[in-house]
Amino acid sequence: KNAFQYTDEGEVIISIDAEKITVTDTGLGIPEAMMPLLYERFERLELPHNDKQSDKIEGTGLGLSIVQRIMTHMGWKLTHQANTTGGSTFSIYYQ
């Protein structure tokens, strides 16, 4: 859901194979200052009020926290990588 909410223009690509699920977007990306808080509850990327996306982005900041807890419970791994052209790639590696 985050990939679609934070990608106003561009694309979101979801791929699934025997090793992982990957979600890649060309959206805003995640500022370096927010990286330590990425999986913390109630933390979310705040947009300026004059940003055209700010009105349509919903959420409480629980999504990635819940995903991380599920990954830990299942023994899976969740990774994040910033894309050089903007946006993010999240991968879930299952075992």
Tell me what pLDDT residue 28 has: 82
Name, in order, each residue with C-beta under 8 angstroms of 80's C-beta and a sequence gap of 6 or more.
Answer: 30, 35, 38, 88, 89, 90
Ordered domains of the chain (ranges, CATH): 2-93 (3.30.565.10)
Residue 17: pLDDT band with limits 50, 70, 90: very high
pLDDT tens digits along 21-52: 999 999 888 877 777 777 777 666 665 444 45
Percentage of residues of the chain with pLDDT beyond 70: 78
For the whole model, what pTM was predicted? 0.74
Is the pLDDT at 54 greater than 50? The verdict is no
What is d(CA 34, CA 39) in angstroms, rounded to the nearest whole number?
10
- The two three-digit tokens of residue 26, written as one number: 């060309």
